[in-house]
Amino acid sequence: MLRLNTKKILPVVFIALGALFMGVSLSQLGFWVDGPGPGFFPSIISAVMMVMGVVTFFLTLKDDTKAKFLKEELLVIYAGIGIFAGTFVIGFVPTILVYLFLWLRVFEKISWKVSAVIVAIAMLITMGVFGTWLGIQFPMGLLENFVG
């Protein structure tokens, strides 16, 4: 008999989320219009997410052990929730840059100067490749109400 536990439920959740993101990115953003469009990267990530979900689900069918969640693994989940919440408040790009800066300073123990340079380079790449070249419109959070 198939026992349901987090090892079996989470892959199904990721398959469903991947399908949802795939549908949104293909129907609303567009995959390819004279070159890669705003939905190009999300579509690829969604496809990878669905494939990995299916593979993980089949690998867990014979495994009845319970999943162990370590403190470090839970920090990743909390960071994801923080990024999600921060996107609605200050916008996606500032949230990611704050996350990157905090990660470099707190976990990697990199100096302020090097951290600032890395964050500046990441910002230039993000805005250049995704914002300008691929034309992705990043969520601006509450700032959207104040910026024209």
Kindly report, residue by residue over 5-48, the tens digit of the pLDDT. 788 888 999 999 999 999 988 888 888 878 788 888 889 999 99
Q: Taking the model in full, what pTM does it have?
A: 0.60
The predicted pLDDT at position 136 comes to 79
Last residue of a domain, one of 37, 68, 99: 68
Residues in contact with 135: Cβ distance below 8 Å, sequence separation at least 6, in sequence order: 37, 38
Within 8 A by CB and 6+ apart from 148, the residues are none
Q: How far apart are CA 111 and CA 101, in angstroms?
A: 10
Ranges of H-type helices in 1-111: 6-24, 40-60, 71-89, 92-102
Q: State the 10-residue block means of pLDDT for the chain, 148 residues long.
A: 76 94 88 82 93 93 80 87 91 91 91 95 90 81 70
**Amino acid found at 34:** D
**Number of domains composing the chain:** 2
Task: Say how many residues make up the chain.
Answer: 148
Pair (79, 64) in one structural domain: no
Of 111, 12, 102, which is closest to residue 55 (Cα–Cα)?
Answer: 12
Residues 81 and 47 in one domain: no
Question: Does one domain contain both 137 and 148?
Answer: yes
Cβ contact 21:82 at 8 Å: no
Could you list the residue range(s) of the whole structural domain that residue 90 is in? 69-148
**6 and 63 share a domain?**
yes
